[in-house]
Structure 1
Amino acid sequence: MNMPPNAAANPIAPPAGSAMNRRDFVWGVATASYQIEGAIDADGRLPSIWDTFCATPGKVLRGETGALACDHYHRWESDVDLIADLGVDAYRLSIAWPRVMHADGRPNQAGLDFYKRLLDRLAERGVKCMATLYHWDLPQHLEDRGGWLNRDTAYRFADYADLVSRELSGRVNAYATLNEPWCSAFLGYGNGHHAPGLANGRYATQAMHHLLLAHGLALAPLAANDPQAQRGIVANVGRGSTLGDSAADHEAARLFELQHNDWVLQPLLKGSYPQDLFKLWPGTEPLVLDGDLATISGPLDFLGINYYFRSTVQSDGAHGYTEVTRPDVERTQMGWEVYPQGLEDLLRGFHTSYPNLPPIYITENGMSSDDRVVNGPNGPRVDDAQRQSFLQRHFAAISRAIDAGVDVRGYYIWSLMDNFEWAFGYERRFGLVHVDYATQQRTLKDSALLFQHYLAQRKG
């Protein structure tokens, strides 16, 4: 593709004068262990709930699994060079709990050594690391004992966080305890769309409580073992709106956002659960012990925000809401509406609702498209024009939120490369880099080339 002559002409660059153009704004890319590593039986790695879920007929599109994924476990050196050559400041990865810890709690040195080599190579190439401790791959042996429905799993997570932060101390710039507890709780235990595939509203709220308790219990060992690293959590958030103008429809939109956003943020930042949640889901109040909410609401150095789309809802005529399809809007390959304004709205709303809101990093934002490699006169090329437009519009939305006073300090594109997209297998492609799964060939899409050019221009 023809590269723009300067950063201002770059079609994905933030607006001129944006705080995102400053040198201290962190630009990064993100991945997750189960989605890219493969090597599920290598070097003592234990089975995870996603290995089990993938092996269950009908759970994942075409019966695909993460057994090979992007083979990152064996290709990590060239992948680190790929990351560094993009020019990013930071890389958000996740540690695979089943890879680094034996079932009896002892360290699995081979797995830990893999991450040490990876982190050391990132540091050599000048790339900082945000390490997510839990990106959904719970060891199966813990699920066999109840998983996140069992309070003991929260304590086992604290042991795991203690182990990882001792072993990786000095190599990690920031730890995110959990990725998207809403997905782990609701999709995993509430509607069964994700591992472990259970579907019960009471399960969802109890799993959420234990997930958040695990987060809170992990903060102390992280601070003790790696005091120079920041500590935070990553929450996925959703914008809800309505086509109607009735009071009931506006209430439906409020309840949607309460369920998607405040269910996580309010216990973290205010030390309480939103009581309207249990009006929405009667009889689902979790068992909360004395001191739990104080543990959950421990101080955070940062909050990671993942945002992808807007949902349109209407009143269900009772005490809740139903989702409806908004006609004539731009959508991604996932069927999600492209709505950058929703990210600005949410950031500004959180800034108002939570006076103690910590500094924010956009830890995931991106889109899937049906990307194909074509051979042109200058070699292989992936023209992903919709992704370029998606990114530029979301950068502009974040810039407006910053101008309104929201403390956003960085942005990580999801994802570095195409990978295993959970229940959708390998069909949905979110990457800046195209992966040919048959050959493991990596090809920078046009969006990656433009992003690389922008970062080079920014650094001067």
Structure 2
Amino acid sequence: MYPQFPPGFRFGMSTSAYQIEGAADADGKGPSIWDTFTARPGTVRHGEDGRVAIDHYHRYAEDVGHIAAAGVHDYRFSFSWTRVLSGSGFYDRLVDALLEAGVRPVPTIYHWDLPQELEDAGGWMNRDTAYRLADYTTVLVDRLGDRVRDWITMNEMSVHTLYGYALTDHAPARGLGLEALPAAHHQLLAHGLAVQVLRAHGARSVGVANQHFPVSPAGDDPADHEAAGLFADLTNWTFSDPILRGAYPNELVRAGAGDARVDRDLEVIGAPLDFYGVNYYEPTVIEAPRAGKDYSGVLEVDIPDGLPFSPVPVKSDERTDFGWAVVPSALTEILTTLRDRYPNLPPVFITENGASFHDSGPGPDGRVHDPRRIAFLDAHLRAVADAIDAGVRVDGYYVWSAIDNFEWAAGYDERFGLVHVDRETLTRTRKDSWYWYRDLIAAQRRS
């Protein structure tokens, strides 16, 4: 009835700080770039923000109860940089609650919420920000290293660079186009420096979470193949090749890093990892731009005119309510591609995979029925099992997300959670998919 996985396979759930915590004024925390971004009119659907989010800061004990009761092994969350620097004890309480509930904490050091004062000093376009993240990592590991064994340095550097620095759809909305490549390099350097700090403090398990997806040309035209290759380099390999190969995928990206110290930096960036996190949602199809053709609305964000690639719709029998193509086989494909591209690929964890469906609140039976999400998760877990059968070492799978949350510029309409949150009362209700995931995990233990 359920897909089966090798002994020791770890199941988990994921969230991030800005998307769930709220309590924007608690602890004297300063503003992040997302506080600034959401305060600008027109940046977020319905003018929403994360000042309250789902109030996880005050309701963490209840949320940990939902997570633990599902039987998951791991909970991936992230730290709010500004909250940490305020001296808050929130993460001590959260980690202790997880451990008491028998759930392993797997924190992410940086998930897009740069302190605004660092953005004012140049943000990720400023090389010094990488060293400030290393300092921040030292604070974290000094405080929590006695209880946290697994660490993720950075989350989806590609998305943060593209949406926030190349385009204007996410914070900090720089709109720099290809001139944003130094932001990519400095995040990669921050990753490498964070690994150094964690190793120096005796961390037992260190990894990173990168978004990956297959990129296909729209047709046989050589121009489409060239455009798709460049897009794959910029969105996939720019962020994994330096970590797993110690080099950039092409000279364009290397030159765009904008620093004469690239070779020395790559030695830092390419330090060995204990695991490699893969976030997967949907594949992409690319063509060379056709004059006069309207490409708007194909992706979550629009690629501006003037760039040498344009997206076309992915053929799919089903889409999520966010409009994303449901293609489970593409998850198998990207995992086998990573295995083939990187002979020394560390054990892989699927650190994010999930779907937004616009689930209504509890019905007359008190339940939240979400059969499409169950079908999505079942199909993608079977795709992971197929990759394992093909020889890819995948050691775990984390659902995005544990709980309905603030979905960045899309606001609260998009519901990814296994637990439903009422927007008015913030009441939590376990969805049918939560029960399905619980039963899937229990079935592994019986097999």
Class of the TM-score when normalised by the shorter of the 2 chains: over 0.9
After alignment, is 201-210 or 365-374 more displaced? 201-210
Structure 2: distance between partners of 1:245 and 1:261 = 22
Q: What is the CA deviation profile of residues 365-420 of structure 1, one whole-angstrom value per residue up to 9, with x for unaligned ones?
A: 000011012423xx312221111111111111111111111111000000001100
* Code of the aligned partner of 2:358: D
- Please state if 1:271 is matched with 2:255: no
* Helix, strand or coil at the partner of 2:214: strand
Structure 2: distance between partners of 1:370 and 1:148 = 34
User: For residue 437 of structure 1, what is the aligned residue in structure 2?
Assistant: 423
Deviation at 1:288, TM superposition (A): 4.2
* Code of the aligned partner of 1:120: D
User: For residue 350 of structure 1, what is the aligned residue in structure 2?
Assistant: 338
* TM-score calculated relative to the size of structure 1: 0.90
* Helix, strand or coil at the partner of 2:258: coil
Alignment of 1:88-107 (within 5 A): 88-101=72-85
User: Structure 2 stretches of 5 or more lacking a match?
Assistant: 291-305
Choose the corresponding residue for 1:240, options 199, 215, 237. 215
Alignment of 1:40-439 (within 5 A): 40-101=24-85, 108-109=86-87, 111=88, 113-228=89-204, 230-275=205-250, 277-278=252-253, 284-289=256-261, 290-316=263-289, 320-326=308-314, 329-376=317-364, 379-439=365-425
Deviation at 1:277, TM superposition (A): 4.6
Deviation at 1:263, TM superposition (A): 0.8
After alignment, is 263-272 or 309-318 more displaced? 309-318
Q: Which stretches of structure 1, 4 residues or more, deviate above 4 A after TM superposition? A: 276-279
Structure 1: distance between partners of 2:274 and 2:221 = 40
User: Is residue 384–residue 446 contact of structure 1 (8 Å, CA) maintained in 2?
Assistant: yes
* Code of the aligned partner of 2:328: P
* Code of the aligned partner of 2:42: G
* Helix, strand or coil at the partner of 2:417: coil
What is the CA RMSD across the aligned residues, in angstroms?
1.7
* Code of the aligned partner of 1:274: P
* Code of the aligned partner of 1:55: A
* TM-score calculated relative to the size of structure 2: 0.93
Deviation at 1:242, TM superposition (A): 3.4
* Helix, strand or coil at the partner of 2:366: strand
Q: What is the CA deviation profile of residues 306-350 of structure 1, one whole-angstrom value per residue up to 9, with x for unaligned ones?
A: 000012221236993211124563111111111111111111111
User: Is residue 316–residue 325 contact of structure 2 (8 Å, CA) maintained in 1?
Assistant: no
* Helix, strand or coil at the partner of 2:118: helix
* Code of the aligned partner of 1:266: D
User: Is residue 20–residue 405 contact of structure 2 (8 Å, CA) maintained in 1?
Assistant: yes
What is the percentage of aligned positions where both structures have the same residue? 47
Q: What is the CA deviation profile of residues 280-316 of structure 1, one whole-angstrom value per residue up to 9, with x for unaligned ones?
A: xxx7442241511111111111110000001222123
Q: What is the CA deviation profile of residues 141-190 of structure 1, one whole-angstrom value per residue up to 9, with x for unaligned ones?
A: 11111111111111000000011011001211311110000111111100
Structure 2: distance between partners of 1:118 and 1:426 = 24
Structure 2: distance between partners of 1:91 and 1:62 = 30
After alignment, is 172-181 or 268-277 more displaced? 268-277
**Compared with structure 1, are the counterparts of its residues 178 and 321 closer, same or farther at alpha carbon in structure 2 (3 Å cutoff)?**
same
Deviation at 1:260, TM superposition (A): 1.4
* Code of the aligned partner of 1:287: D
Deviation at 1:129, TM superposition (A): 1.1
User: Is residue 336–residue 387 contact of structure 2 (8 Å, CA) maintained in 1?
Assistant: yes
**Compared with structure 1, are the counterparts of its residues 256 and 202 closer, same or farther at alpha carbon in structure 2 (3 Å cutoff)?**
closer
* Code of the aligned partner of 2:158: W
Number of residue pairs aligned between Structure 1 and Structure 2? 430
User: Is residue 209–residue 288 contact of structure 1 (8 Å, CA) maintained in 2?
Assistant: no
Deviation at 1:278, TM superposition (A): 4.3
Structure 1: distance between partners of 2:167 and 2:101 = 42
User: For residue 105 of structure 1, what is the aligned residue in structure 2?
Assistant: none
Q: What is the CA deviation profile of residues 51-110 of structure 1, one whole-angstrom value per residue up to 9, with x for unaligned ones?
A: 000001111111101000010000011111111111101100101111011xxxxxx33x
User: Is residue 147–residue 153 contact of structure 1 (8 Å, CA) maintained in 2?
Assistant: yes
User: Structure 1 stretches of 5 or more lacking a match?
Assistant: 1-7, 102-107
